[in-house]
Amino acid sequence: MLKQILTLLAAVCAFGLVTANGALAQNGYKIRSGDTLNIEVVEDANLNRSVLVLPDGSISFPFADGVRAAGRTTGQVASALANAMASNFASTPNVYVSVGQLAERTIAAPAAIATYDIYVAGEVNNPGKLDGTRGMTVLQAIAQGGGLTRFAAAKRIQVRRGSAIYGYNYHTNAGNIRLQEGDVIIVPQRKLFE
């Protein structure tokens, strides 16, 4: 009987070590560009969303635009978001961050049609990396990303190409430019009376 109890106790301890090591491995993961993060703000569920880590390593999030995520752990990003949003809340909000999807790190086979990576972030139904093709426009990329959400600021869409920023109006198709490799389309959240 004592032998069975010791065996059971050893199994429970081993399970606890495996769980603890798994948690440590997950907490030690360094976020990379192209990863998708799930962000939850306890004080305001309307802010909960999935965001894409942009090629420059930052994320776009309401009340905390431009927070650096690449090279940080989920805990560090949660802390940075909470501090950036603190002025919009009565007390510092409780923010939780997890990695929803890892960036794809595969070697693409040669294709008949040349494609390149473009990114769509913000208020689109399927944010993330898209395969751009020659002559692809902003409107086509938004359509490939599942269209705009009901919270999208359709008149203030931005296309970021390196250090240059171009404006785009979804309703009038004004500023509909042809995309290039690495372009990032950011669809901000609309303001109260927009």
Domain 115-187 part of CATH 3.10.560.10:
yes
Per-residue 3-state assignment (H helix, E strand, C coil) for the chain: CHHHHHHHHHHHHHHHHHHHHHHHHHHCCCCCCCCEEEEEECCCHHHCEEEECCCCCEECCCCCCCEECCCCCHHHHHHHHHHHHHHHCCCCCCEEEEEEECCCCCCCCCCCCCEEEEEEEECECCCEEEEEECCCEHHHHHHHCCCECCCECCCCEEEEECCEEEEEECCCCECCCECCCCCEEEECECCCCC
Threshold 0.85, pTM exceeds: no
Ranges of residues in the chain with a pLDDT under 50 are 6, 8-25
Residue 101, pLDDT score = 87
Level-2 CATH architecture, domain 36-101: 2-Layer Sandwich (3.30)
* CATH 3.10.560.10 boundaries in the chain: 115-187
Residue 176, pLDDT score = 78
Residue 193, pLDDT score = 78
* CATH 3.30.1950.10 boundaries in the chain: 36-101
Residue 1, pLDDT score = 55
Percent residues over pLDDT 90 in the chain: 40
Residue 12, pLDDT score = 46
